[in-house]
Structure formats: C-alpha cells, structure tokens
C-alpha cells in the first residue's frame, strides 16, 4: 500500500555478547514483495540478526521496526501478519501434528486450513503423529507448513532447507516464489545453499563478522563487483582503502587481490585501471567466497 511503512526495517542495529560485537551497525530495509536471501558463514550472526529483527532477542542499540512498530513492542495485529521458522523448531512437543496446527491456526486471521492439509499430504506428515517423535526433517517441514498456512505478509525463515530432502526443498522454493509473486509476501530467509537463493531471491545480503558488506538487488550485485589482481610493482602504489573496496589480500603470486565495487571505478587511480593484471567478473558463489574467505 502506498505510504505504508516497510514490513521490516533496521537502522544502526548493534548487538554484543560480552566484548564481541555480533551485529555492528546493521542497516536493512525490506519492501513489500521482496525476497531477501541472507548469506554468511556459520557464526556470522545470521540467526542473531533474525531474532533481533523480530524482537525475539533484545538489541543493544539502533532502530528495528516491523510494519512500522518497534520490534520490542509489536501489537497482536502485527504479530498475526508475520510468520517465523527458526533453525531448529522444537516447540509444543507433547501435541500431535493436527492438534498443534488447529491450536496455532486460531491466532492467525488468514489461516488456511486447506493449504495446511494439502502440505501435510504432499510432505507425508500424519495429523496423529506426536511432535516429539518427528525426525529433524519432519519437524522442519511441519514448521514450514505452520508458517505458510498462516498466509503471512512477512515470512522469516532461518536456514529453512537445512534438514529438507531435495523434493521438499524444491516444494518450499516454489511456495516462496508463489507467495511473493501472487500475494506480495515479503520473505527473508537465511541460507548457505546458494543455488536455492539464486532460484527465488530478488535481493541478497552478505553478512560477515556482524556487518552487512553487500545488500542489494541480486542481478545487479552479480554485475557490480569484480576481483582485481594487481602485480607487486603496482601494489605498493595502491592507496588503502580504494573507493568501493571490500577485501584486500596480499598473495604470493600477485601483489594484491582486491574485491572492488565496479561502480566506483572512476575514483580508482589511473595506474590501477591501466596496470592491473586482470579484472574478473564474479558469479554469486565466487563473490561469496571472496567476501568470507
């Protein structure tokens, strides 16, 4: 809706555990209908970021809003508009599948019982199974059914495909794509499976050591960054940092290996533009490795 606040927004978000900064000044904004893939190494802070964004974990400073409300004080109406699947769903283990879905469905005005039943059949779950007797993959499939059947406006998934078999992963990706395209659902999902991200994400964010190094539209990002190899004789002439520089490494074979934002090339020294050994365009996987290595 025109003029309505974005489904999710963070500005200057910071979170520390003792002396370690887990999230260091995160700025993030998701517009309606965006599908954002959040990627980063284990320990990069993805789960902590998701929990802070949803108000499940108190952040130290910054602004975090969900549908324009503080994540720490969400109204019941806003909570009913979102669904979250954690990395290891284990709640309500004493209930059976059907009772859990019937109970949870009462909290969501848009609950789609027919979709829940359809997904139960597709993913081979029985309504009479107890939750504490399900395998990790079955628990994750059930958590996804609960989230999708809520027909949320904001869907947040933490490593949703980690315990899924290839068929269930394919179905999940199809459901995410359908929700975004048909109903304008906003989706944030963390993953380490880059092929999944490329199949459904419209936007991508790289989280590394608590900072968002890259955040933007997926196709543009794949054209935006280049790996530049600089010979030793030229490496000593390179100011630090260069405009748009994300990574700088010394190598035995070359003087420097740089990861640069190509849109900033007009600000680079002429010597670099004339004397670099190679300017390599990067696919998403190569870009991810350059960022996190």
Q: Could you tell me which of 86, 56, 85 has the C-alpha nearest to residue 71? A: 56
What is the per-residue pLDDT for 84? 93
Whole-structure pTM value? 0.89
For residue 260, the tally of other CB atoms under 10 A from its CB is: 24
Q: Which residues of the chain have pLDDT under 70?
A: 1-2, 254
What is the per-residue pLDDT for 240? 83
What is the per-residue pLDDT for 254? 64
What is the per-residue pLDDT for 1? 52
Tell me phi and psi for residue 191, to 5 degrees: -160, 155
What is the per-residue pLDDT for 112? 95
Give 184-216 pLDDT, tens digit per residue.
Answer: 899 999 988 888 888 889 999 999 889 998 999
What is the per-residue pLDDT for 236? 81
8-209: CATH topology is Rossmann fold (3.40.50)
CA 69 to chain centre: 21
What is the per-residue pLDDT for 203? 94
């Amino acid at each position: 809706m025109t003029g309505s606040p974005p489904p999710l927004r963070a500005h200057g978000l910071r979170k520390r555990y003792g002396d370690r900064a887990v999230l260091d000044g995160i700025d993030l904004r998701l517009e309606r209908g965006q599908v954002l893939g959040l990627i980063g190494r284990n320990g990069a802070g993805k789960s902590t970021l998701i929990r802070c964004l949803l108000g499940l974990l108190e952040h130290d400073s910054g602004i975090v809003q969900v549908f324009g409300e503080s994540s720490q004080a969400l109204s019941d109406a806003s909570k009913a508009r979102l669904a979250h699947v954690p990395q290891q769903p284990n709640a309500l283990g004493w209930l059976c599948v059907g009772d859990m879905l019937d109970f949870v469905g009462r909290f969501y005005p848009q609950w789609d019982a027919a979709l829940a039943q359809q997904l139960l059949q597709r993913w081979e779950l029985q309504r009479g199974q107890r939750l504490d007797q399900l395998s990790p993959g079955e628990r994750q499939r059930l958590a996804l059914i609960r989230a999708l059947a809520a027909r949320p406006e904001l869907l947040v998934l933490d490593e949703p495909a980690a315990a899924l078999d290839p068929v269930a992963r394919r179905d999940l990706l199809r459901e995410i794509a359908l929700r975004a395209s048909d109903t304008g659902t906003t989706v944030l999902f963390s993953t380490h499976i880059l092929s999944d991200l490329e199949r459904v994400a419209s936007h991508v964010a790289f989280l590394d050591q608590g900072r968002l190094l890259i955040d933007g539209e997926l196709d543009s990002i794949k054209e935006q960054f280049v790996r530049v190899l600089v010979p030793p004789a030229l490496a000593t002439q390179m100011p630090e940092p260069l405009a748009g520089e994300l990574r700088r490494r010394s190598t035995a074979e070359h003087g420097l290996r740089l990861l640069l934002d190509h849109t900033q090339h007009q600000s680079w020294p002429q010597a670099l533009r004339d004397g670099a050994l190679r300017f390599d365009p990067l696919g998403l996987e190569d870009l991810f490795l350059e960022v996190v290595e």
